[in-house]
Amino acid sequence: MNTASSFSLPQRLTHAQATDVLSALSAALQGGVQCVDLSALTEFDSSALSVLLAARRARRDGSPLRCVNAPDKLRKLASLYGVESLIFDEV
């Protein structure tokens, strides 16, 4: 569910969906979203990490983008790629 301050990623985020999801997330960020809910993610690849990293870079005002409710497998993938601390603040 997307709210004024939160954006939920879809259940599936692979290379095939990355461009569309990044476009939607970028629009949400311009609208003031500060939190991305990852709880729905069940099928993903490294494209999910790319989308989240691109969203962080897109924060023009320098404010943090919180990523919450990350599946364990996504955290492990981020750790494997060495980007866990760039995506998840609490690392």
Q: Write out the residue range of the structural domain in which residue 52 sits.
A: 6-87
State how beta strands 35-37 and 6-8 pair: parallel
42: domain CATH number is 3.30.750.24
Count of domains forming the chain: 1
Give the Cα separation of 23 and 89 in Å (integer).
23
Q: What 3-state DSSP class applies to 21?
A: helix
Q: What is the pLDDT along the chain (91 residues), one digit of tens a residue?
A: 566 689 999 999 999 999 999 999 999 998 889 899 999 999 999 999 999 999 988 876 777 789 999 999 999 999 999 999 999 876 4
SS3 content of the chain, % helix, strand, coil (to 5): 45, 15, 40
Does residue 13 fall inside a structural domain? yes
Q: What 3-state DSSP class applies to 3?
A: coil
Does residue 75 fall inside a structural domain? yes
